Amino acid sequence: MISFWERESFTRYDYIIIGSGITGLSVAATLLERQAQARVLVLERGIFPTGASTKNAGFACIGSPTELLADLRTMPSESVTALVALRYKGLRLLRQRLGDAAIGYTEQGSYELLSEPQLYCLPELARLNELLFPVVQTTAFVLRDEIIGQYGFDANYFKAAVTNCCEGQLDTGLMMRALLQYVQRLGATLVNGAEVLGWTDTGAGVEVRVQHTALRQEVAFWAQRVAICTNAFARQLLPDIDLQPGRGQVLATHPIADLPFKGIFHFDEGYYYFRSHAGRVIFGGGRNLDFAAETSTEFAYNELILADLTEKLHRYILPHTPFEIDMRWTGIMGFGSTKQPHLLLHSPNVAVGVKLSGMGVAIGSELGRQVAELLIY
């Protein structure tokens, strides 16, 4: 049971946002930037955001050549350009909103490393540059093969390197902390440990049912409008939505003395990615080795993939440099039959912004803004 006081002062809002990842927090930020007096509640089931936004690699990226060429095989070129534009806009909004220092944003170089099977993309770079120019207003991709030797990568495995002039890296933890602080400064209420079990849009507003762990019962919250931003976990609240979870495995080394490279790197059509961070290497990917097992919302290790990451780190990335693994973790992304996110008004008072297809650092801010536009009344 809850008290009269709790019901009156703690459960009634103008807007409720479910999920405090980058998308949900960006919805809250936009709402409060536009309506400073609005009562905005963010409900998060974890003790801190616990999906992908605090687990990712922090690549502020708009797409690598092999990834874009793969997209062009399945999507019209206008859709590919629209997705690049969404990433570009999202990154710009994130940087404008929080400032580069607060999110640890730097541009130390962004590269796609190509092995023999991906060399097909080299003659396509001019076409890709032409395609992207209207969005980025510069030549996005430039050949930089010399970095393979300079950075000590295995030159028998990586045959070419292409830099992307429009990408950077950020500190994922700093970025999410800054975003949380930003929405709190604007007046949002954040409640953690609050798992939403269900919702009902009555037409006059939305009832949101939340598990109260201390009382061991459901508590009904009420808002005029609700945003569902639970990405990979969205099927719990939207059972019919086209969405599959996709788990990502990541490992981080201890700091390495004289780490021979700086920057962010992708290879194998974006299935693998690594970066430098404070002398460490953070390396993730390999989902394509075991898609079936990685279609999961469980935060569990996949030893097959982690062993593959460790071996690739030894053989191809740091072949001449000893290292030790410090940490391993997993995060859960949301994918579907297309790469575009789901952005929709599900019922008159409930908007949805989910399925970020592993691009949420880039698109989360702009998707959140668009979700807020659907809700504002």
Ligand X SMILES: Cc1cc2nc3c(=O)[nH]c(=O)nc-3n(C[C@H](O)[C@H](O)[C@H](O)COP(=O)(O)OP(=O)(O)OC[C@H]3O[C@@H](n4cnc5c(N)ncnc54)[C@H](O)[C@@H]3O)c2cc1C
Residue whose CB is less far from ligand X, 161 or 342: 342
62 near ligand X (CB under 6 A):
no
CB atoms closer than 10 angstroms to residue 263: 19
> Using CB under 6 A, which residues numbered 238 to 257 contact ligand X?
248, 250
3-state secondary structure of 41: strand
Q: C-beta of 211: minimal distance to ligand X in Å? A: 9
User: d(Cα 202, Cα 207) in Å, to the nearest integer?
Assistant: 8
User: d(Cα 318, Cα 247) in Å, to the nearest integer?
Assistant: 25
Beta-sheet strand order (sheet of 264-267) = 141-143, 160-164, 110-114, 264-267, 272-277, 280-285, 244-253, 325-335
The residue from 32, 44, 67, 168 that contacts ligand X (CB under 6 A) is 44
User: d(Cα 372, Cα 377) in Å, to the nearest integer?
Assistant: 10
Count CA atoms within 13 Å of residue 28 on its CB side. 31
Contact letters (x/-) for ligand X, 270-299, by CB under 6 A?
--------------x---------------
Q: Write the DSSP string, 233-289.
A: GGGGT-TTSS-EEEEEEEEEEPP-TT-S--SEEEETTTTEEEEEETTEEEEEE-GGG
> Using CB under 6 A, which residues numbered 85 to 144 contact ligand X?
none
Q: C-beta of 24: minimal distance to ligand X in Å? A: 5
> Using CB under 6 A, which residues numbered 145 to 184 contact ligand X?
none
Identify whether the C-beta of residue 297 lies closer than 8 Å to the C-beta of residue 275: no
Q: C-beta of 123: minimal distance to ligand X in Å? A: 27
The residue from 168, 245, 270, 360 that contacts ligand X (CB under 6 A) is 360
Q: β-strands 217-228, 12-18: how paired? A: parallel
Q: C-beta of 284: minimal distance to ligand X in Å? A: 5
What single DSSP character describes residue 302? -
Q: C-beta of 155: minimal distance to ligand X in Å? A: 25
Residues touching ligand X, count (CB under 6 A): 44
The residue from 11, 81, 231, 253 that contacts ligand X (CB under 6 A) is 231
The residue from 11, 30, 50, 164 that contacts ligand X (CB under 6 A) is 50
What residues line the site for ligand X (CB under 6 A)? 18-24, 43-46, 49-53, 55-59, 61, 195-196, 229-233, 236-237, 248, 250, 284, 331-333, 356, 358-362, 364
